[in-house]
């Protein structure tokens, strides 16, 4: 049974990131169910909108495409947040892309949270292997992306090791930490 929905003040954006298989989409859905009003933006959907000429986003030659897709995602996220929604964006948004979100948050004077789910490598690979549909399950790119989230410098404070946690426990922990401002990158201007 889900806890009652939480009614925060005003809209905000929470970027829930980590390597493929970290549990982002499952946890994002739980968070969106617990916040009101809420929006869950699954970033993979934005890449799937490209029908011709799509490049797998984990390849180096996809950088320009990834910039475009992330800008569209950022615009949608902050459009909803400006309307008072609690927006959860789940996807592979490493520090190399977080400044796109930060700039929009500062421009719109809206809060931005950045949460990195980083289960250990074995757990990540195991979870990714169990995914279905068109989800990435190839261990090579997953290992590579896990490595990219290994040492995040200043963003290490935004990391949650969810290796031993259920999706529900992870969502509970994130909600508690969001209320305490633990993952806040841009504070609201009021």
pLDDT above 50 for 16: yes
Sequence ranges of the domains in the chain: 12-186
Residue 116: helix, strand or coil by DSSP?
strand
pTM of the complete model: 0.89
CA 78 to chain CA centroid, Å, is 14
So what's the pLDDT on residue 137? 66
Cis? peptide before 132, omega within 30° of 0: no
pLDDT above 90 for 42: yes
Mean pLDDT of 159-183: 96
So what's the pLDDT on residue 7? 47
- Whether domain 12-186 has CATH 3.30.360.30: no
d(CA 109, CA 132): 39
Q: Token pair of 134, please? A: 């068109």
So what's the pLDDT on residue 10? 73
pLDDT, tens digit (0-9, with 9 covering 90-100), for 61-113: 999 999 999 999 999 999 999 999 999 999 999 998 999 999 999 999 999 99
pLDDT above 80 for 2: no
Mean pLDDT of the chain: 90
How do beta strands 86-90 and 38-42 pair? parallel
pLDDT, tens digit (0-9, with 9 covering 90-100), for 112-149: 999 999 999 988 888 777 777 777 667 677 788 889 99
d(CA 164, CA 76): 33
Q: Which of 21-25, 48-52, 123-127 has the highest mean pLDDT?
A: 48-52
Q: Which of 65, 118, 114 is nearest to 89 (CA)?
A: 114
d(CA 20, CA 5): 27
């Amino acid at each position: 049974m889900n806890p009652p929905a939480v009614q925060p003040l005003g809209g905000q954006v929470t970027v829930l990131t980590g390597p493929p298989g970290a549990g982002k989409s499952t946890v994002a859905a739980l968070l969106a169910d617990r916040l009101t009003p809420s929006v869950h933006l699954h970033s993979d959907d934005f890449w799937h909108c490209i029908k011709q000429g799509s490049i797998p986003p984990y390849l180096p030659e996809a950088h320009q495409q990834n910039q475009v897709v992330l800008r569209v995602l950022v615009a949608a996220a902050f459009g909803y947040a400006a309307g008072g929604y609690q927006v959860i964006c789940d996807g592979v948004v490493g520090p190399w892309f977080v400044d796109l979100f930060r700039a929009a948050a500062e421009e719109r004077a809206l809060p931005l949270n950045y949460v990195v789910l980083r289960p250990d490598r074995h757990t990540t690979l195991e979870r990714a292997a169990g995914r279905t549909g068109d989800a990435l399950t190839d261990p090579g790119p997953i290992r590579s992306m896990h490595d990219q989230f290994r040492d995040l410098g200043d963003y290490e404070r935004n990391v949650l090791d969810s290796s031993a946690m259920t999706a529900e426990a992870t969502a509970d922990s994130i909600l508690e930490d969001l209320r305490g401002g633990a993952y806040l990158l841009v504070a609201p201007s009021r």
